[in-house]
Amino acid sequence: MRSLSHLTVPFLLLAFSAYELREKGETGMLGILLAVAGLLLFFTAVSALLRWKKAALAQEVSSRTETWWWMAAVFMLAFSTHRLVSFLFLGFLCFSALREYFSLLPMRDASEGQILSFRDRPSILVAYCMVPLSIYVAYIRWYELFIILVPVYFFLLIPILFVIQDRTEGALKSMGAISLGTLFFAFCLGHALFMINVGPMLLFFCFFLTESRDVIAFWVGKALGALTAALPEGGARRLLELRVAPTVNPRKTWAGGLLSALAVAGLAVAVRPLLPPFGGAAATREFCAVAGFAIGFFGLFGDLVFGMVKRDIGVKDTGSLLPGHGGVIDRVNGLVFTVPLTFHLFYWRFF
Amino acid sequence: MRALVHAVLRLLLRVIFGAAPRQTIGDWPAIVVANHDTHLDVFLVFSLFPLWRVSRVRAVAAADYFGRGFLGVGARLAFNTILVQRASGDASAALEPVREALRADCSLVIFPEGTRGEPGVLLPFKPGIGALAEEFPDVPIHPVALVGAERALPKGDPLPVPFNIEIRQLEKVYGRDLVRRHGAGARRAMAAELEARIREGLKEGEPLPPEAPAEEGA
């Protein structure tokens, strides 16, 4: 029941979008919305069934379905109402991910050698401020500033703040952690904000493929696992078992990653008709395949990179507290890599 | 009116700090005890009560700090504060207004540390909570561990910064059970038990799984 009550808000948003679209007479978009809603209802039913049967995958399926509900709601709102709505939604996503990142890092007094110290709080507040600032700059379509705001000006502002605080101890560690998180979540993930200007459909293309990659990778991994087990000892088996980073995640193999990326490339070509022409030129099939492959390949690293970060924190301080049950980072980790990549591929090709 | 203010406060807590209780407290009256690190704590604990009952929940506050000025008026309007004299010598007399409120069918919010203290450090609980548990054996005491609030607004720093805050609701205790375990009159031991429960609740993190999550195979 709890999982269903979580879905009320996205459901209401979808209903509102449907109403708006009907009022505006955009029947084509309304058709897509209804199809998506139907599909989501089906998956919600499946996840409820799995939960009821206490299947092993129940948690996974229901959390993914919830993510999809939200994605659909945000996109449909973006289509049917003002584009500021999508800016606020995606901005809040960046903010939540950034907040979770800072909350995960252990914080003590500087002398205790933790990653953050209590004196970092003003700088962290400035880091959060980059989100609304990026929203504004993206909203007024000021590309030149958007693209250097965090990596240049925020990056330089933090050391200045540290100097004004007159501190030495742990400064390098703190500055590194703050800049890294802000670059990941306010800048890289924040590219989604500027992508709204390029077109919500491109955003949908990127989000859809990134989320699909996770599902595809799961099944490809299962299939490859079965295949490897059946193979005789030898070169072919060793090649299939070659792992990307055994310490970070023993389950990710190069073979699985590349195969999933190929599958995502195929999916990208399949959803190409949804993409509108950019600047008069439609994306070619080859271009979509390349973009899909890139999303598939780099999406793999989203998972691995944040697995590495979490492991690092865990190893240093196993008793560390993880307040909240956010899990926002777990849901956006692929997007941190795929959103800027997709954005720049399309921006470079068409603008 | 007060309910409206609290509704807005709850929305803010949820959006800025991601803080929302798992479930509201159904018992009435009830005593909520929590660790105290910041001024945010009282907002967080009040969000445990259903909105329509919020005007009958009262926070126990120190008379010397919340008794006067702008802060005092604000606290009284928002949280219906009961002022008690800290370090008055006569502990029993100091508790009298608190007893009064419980008899008048109000629920209470108490921070038995008595003060906010250093960030992340749980101070020993004052015995007053033990006395209340003994005198009102059938009123449930809900221990609550507030995790992460000390980063958001530590004592002595006026700058609030968003961090995830978790409101961990621990198993409720009845005064009668505390009396049975520690014997009548053992106020300090009862307070110490509540303190130990919250200390456990604060520690109880989610340790990293020994192996990578089994969700994906690629």
A260-297: per-residue pLDDT in tens? 999 999 999 998 887 877 777 778 899 999 999 999 99
Name the residue in chain A with its Cα closest to that of B211.
Answer: A249
**Mean pLDDT: which of A287-301, B58-72, B76-90, B202-216 is highest?**
A287-301
The beta-carbon neighbor of B159 closest among A125, A220, A323 is: A125
**Mean pLDDT score of chain B:** 86
The beta-carbon neighbor of B217 closest among A122, A251, A314 is: A251
Find the length of chain B: 218
- Name the DSSP class of A324: S
B158-192 pLDDT, tens digit each:
899 999 898 999 999 999 999 999 988 888 999 99
Name the residue in chain A with its Cα closest to that of B20.
Answer: A324
- A276 Cα to chain B: minimum distance (Å): 32
Name the residue in chain A with its Cα closest to that of B213.
Answer: A249
Contact B18 A99 (CB under 8 A): yes
Contact B18 A322 (CB under 8 A): no
Lowest mean pLDDT among A55-59, A108-112, A292-296, B144-148: A108-112
Contact A251 B206 (CB under 8 A): no
The pLDDT of residue A112 is above 70: no
What is the reported pLDDT for A74? 77
Residue A197, phi then psi, degrees to nearest 5: -65, -40
Residue in the structure block whose two tokens are 């309007």 = B77
What is the reported pLDDT for A110? 56
In the predicted model, what is the mean pLDDT of residues A65-86?
A: 80
A190-225 pLDDT, tens digit each:
999 999 888 778 888 898 899 889 889 988 988 998
In the predicted model, what is the mean pLDDT of residues A72-84?
A: 80
Residue A136's Cβ-side half-sphere holds a number of Cα atoms within 13 Å equal to 5
| Rg (chain A; Cα; Å) | 22
Residue A167's Cβ-side half-sphere holds a number of Cα atoms within 13 Å equal to 21
d(CA B178, CA B174): 7
What is the reported pLDDT for A324? 40
Contact B216 A324 (CB under 8 A): no
d(CA A88, CA A131): 10
Residue A75 vs residues A34, A71, A208, B8, B23: alpha-carbon distances, Å: 13, 6, 11, 27, 31
Residue A162 confidence class, pLDDT cut points 50, 70, 90: very high
Residue from A328, A311, A116 nearest B150 by CA:
A116
Residues 6+ positions from B106 with CB-CB distance below 8 Å: B29, B56, B57, B58, B80
Cβ-based contacts under 8 A for chains A and B: 104
The pLDDT of residue B216 is above 50: no
Contact B218 A260 (CB under 8 A): yes
Contact A217 B216 (CB under 8 A): yes
Residues 6+ positions from A345 with CB-CB distance below 8 Å: A290, A291, A294
In chain A, residues with a C-beta closer than 8 Å to the C-beta of B151 are 103, 107, 118, 121
Output the pTM of the full model: 0.88
What is the reported pLDDT for B93? 81
What is the reported pLDDT for A233? 80
The pLDDT of residue A71 is above 90: no
What is the reported pLDDT for A78? 74
Residue from A349, A348, A293 nearest A147 by CA:
A348
Instruction: Give the amino acid at A269.
Output: V
* Residue ranges in chain A assigned as alpha helix (H): 2-6, 8-24, 27-52, 58-80, 83-104, 121-139, 143-148, 155-164, 171-181, 191-198, 200-230, 235-240, 254-270, 285-316, 328-350
H or E element: which one contains B146? strand B140-147
Q: Angle between the A58-80 and A83-104 helix axes, to the nearest 10 degrees?
A: 140
d(CA A52, CA B215): 19
| Rg (chain B; Cα; Å) | 18
d(CA A309, CA A43): 32
Burial (CB < 10 A; 0-12, 13-18, 19+), residue B91, is: middle
Q: Please tell me whether the peptide bond between B29 and the residue prior to it is cis, using omega within 30 degrees of 0.
A: yes
The beta-carbon neighbor of B216 closest among A122, A218, A311 is: A218
What is the reported pLDDT for A196? 87
In chain A, residues with a C-beta closer than 8 Å to the C-beta of B122 are none
Contact B164 A250 (CB under 8 A): no
Contact A222 B161 (CB under 8 A): no
In the predicted model, what is the mean pLDDT of residues B36-60?
A: 93
Name the residue in chain A with its Cα closest to that of B147.
Answer: A323
Comparing A298 with A29, which gets the higher pLDDT?
Answer: A298
- The ipTM is 0.87
What is the reported pLDDT for A1? 45
B90 torsion bin: left (phi>0), alpha (psi -120 to 50), beta (else): beta
What is the reported pLDDT for A83? 82
In the predicted model, what is the mean pLDDT of residues B30-40?
A: 93
Name the residue in chain A with its Cα closest to that of B161.
Answer: A125
**Mean pLDDT score of chain A:** 85
The pLDDT of residue B88 is above 70: no
